[in-house]
Amino acid sequence: MSDLFGAPLSVINVGLEQFAAPIRAAGANVADVDWAPPAHDEDIARALSRLVNRVDIEAANQTAFARYLAAQPTLKGVGMARDVLDGLGERTILHSGPPITWEDMCAPVRGAITGACVYEGWAKTPAEAETLAGSGEISFAPCHHFGAVGPMAGIISPSMPLWIIEDPVHDHMTFSNLNEGLGKVLRFGANSPDVIAHLEWMRDVLAPALAATLATLGELELKPIMAQALHMGDEVHNRNGAASALLIKRLIPAALDAGLEPETLSAVVTFINSNDHFFLNLSMAACKSMLDAAHGVPGSSLVTAMARNGVNFGIRVSGLGDAWFEAPASIIDGLFFPGYSTADANPDLGDSSITETCGIGAFAMAASPAIVQFVGGTASDALVNSQRMAHITFGRNGAFTLPALDFLATPAGIDIRKVVDTGIAPVINTGIAHREAGIGQVGAGITHAPLTCFSAAVAALAKTFDD
């Protein structure tokens, strides 16, 4: 015992960091272990205890994860929303995130909806459109409820063109709108005449050209493009330059053979080539396809959607049907464009967190250390994020690998039990929209999903088991 007290001490401090300070001041070496009791709530802790080490849940998760891995999202074509979305009403507008009423919507989503009303010809001016939107004559629903996804405001109205994605393995279709490019665009709430004119060009020129191109090309598998892009510096959420270039490489030869008018071909190629985010919407629809394959497995604790509407953050869980588990969306403290700050930022917004849910985006930041120049942090942070997410996921996706980590597969299959048990929230990198409609993107940053969503889902899943 005397030898013990006479020897240099190395102390492991578990939990509160302030406990280590006086020990360190006394000259001892201290290693901090970031740990906290699971759940932080007695009822949630009890619910969690009913879900761990269950053979039936593990089997359900194996089934859901296998379906996710087997999915093969394939680009099939382009079509109008009213023609391809089953059950879409003639005056229905889809938005990002979980369900929300017009009265509760944030300004960018309201602005985008009024723009969609003008675009559809339901109103002549944004002011008239805003009155119409609040009248009850327009129905609103999440994109997710129609097998679709959209970035930021996520707006899809009946005469907007959509990418059509098919998973032939599970005979399932998913959809996304087309990316408008940067600047003042509808997805950030802009609704000026030039925004509407651009949407009309996308409908009347871009969409038919893409449809003709894809008819000539044939179907295009998306996972190989995403996998290659990860090896070229994308994380396929906020950085899509490589993926967009790979897409253009495949489209242009078919476009040349599709018989397009030279002026149309030039305009379309110029637009796509100028938009590094053109592939983003395809990435989102592909991720939606893979996660839809995993959805609906009784007893599964895997997350199949994370989405934000600018007011609330919501998740869906494979074994809990179509229920949303929600919490207030956070304000993102990231890197802001000159002249802007957190005071200008709208709370977290968009369906693009479907990429993180799928195991790419911030989960694959190790493949894209340069992304930190856009969202903040350091290159080592990018590596840490990809490693840390493995603590809350069911497995790894061998289709998506990370060169900087010796081609380790990306962590995938967020498990609500592990999130609540560890207190580690899924990381998301995202653009930041201005809180006022139409100003546009004002920055980008890294945020985390609210833990309370996962606690509520754990409680709900526990109630589905009788024992």
Query: What is the rounded CA–CA span in Å between residue 358 and residue 419?
Result: 15
Number of folded domains that form the chain: 3
pLDDT confidence band for 14 (50 / 70 / 90): low
Whether residues 255 and 302 share a domain: the answer is no
pLDDT at residue 395 in the model: 98
What CATH number has the domain bearing residue 62?
A: 3.90.1700.10
Lowest mean pLDDT among 11-15, 39-43, 284-288: 11-15
User: Which of 283, 309, 336 is the endpoint of a domain?
Assistant: 283
Whether residues 178 and 99 share a domain: the answer is yes
Q: Does pLDDT of 163 surpass 80?
A: yes
Query: What is the rounded CA–CA span in Å between residue 68 and residue 281?
Result: 19
Q: Is 315 helix (H, G, I), strand (E, B) or coil?
A: strand
Whether residues 7 and 153 share a domain: the answer is no
For residue 28, give the nearest of 16, 14, 10 by alpha carbon. Answer: 10
Whether residues 161 and 271 share a domain: the answer is yes
Q: Does pLDDT of 182 surpass 90?
A: no
The stretch 254-271 carries a mean pLDDT of 96
Whether residues 418 and 394 share a domain: the answer is yes
What CATH number has the domain bearing residue 243?
A: 3.90.1710.10
For residue 162, give the nearest of 292, 306, 293, 282 by alpha carbon. Answer: 282
Q: Does pLDDT of 9 surpass 80?
A: no
Evaluate whether 268 touches 433 at the Cβ level (below 8 Å). no
pLDDT at residue 464 in the model: 95
What is the pTM for the complete model shown?
Answer: 0.91
Residue 223 phi/psi, 5° resolution? -60, -40
Whether residues 129 and 233 share a domain: the answer is yes
Q: Is 103 exposed, middle or buried (0-12, 13-18, 19+ CB in 10 A)?
A: exposed
Whether residues 318 and 333 share a domain: the answer is yes
Q: What is the mean pLDDT of the chain?
A: 93
pLDDT tens for 103-115 read 999 999 999 999 9
The stretch 339-343 carries a mean pLDDT of 93
pLDDT at residue 36 in the model: 58
Q: Does pLDDT of 425 surpass 80?
A: yes
Phi-psi category of 379—alpha, beta or left, where left has phi over 0 and alpha has psi -120 to 50? Answer: alpha
pLDDT at residue 160 in the model: 98
pLDDT confidence band for 220 (50 / 70 / 90): very high
pLDDT confidence band for 15 (50 / 70 / 90): low
pLDDT confidence band for 379 (50 / 70 / 90): confident
Cβ-based neighbour number of residue 136 at 10 Å: 8
Q: Does pLDDT of 38 surpass 70?
A: no
Whether residues 223 and 167 share a domain: the answer is yes
Residue 364: domain span:
42-68+292-463
pLDDT tens for 359-371 read 999 999 999 988 8
Tokens (6 digits) for 308: 């934000």
Q: How many CA atoms lie within 13 A of 267 on its CB side?
A: 15
pLDDT at residue 35 in the model: 55
Whether residues 238 and 363 share a domain: the answer is no
Beta strands 161-167; 148-149: pairing state? unpaired
Whether residues 169 and 94 share a domain: the answer is yes
Q: Does pLDDT of 332 surpass 60?
A: yes
Evaluate whether 269 touches 275 at the Cβ level (below 8 Å). no
pLDDT at residue 467 in the model: 63
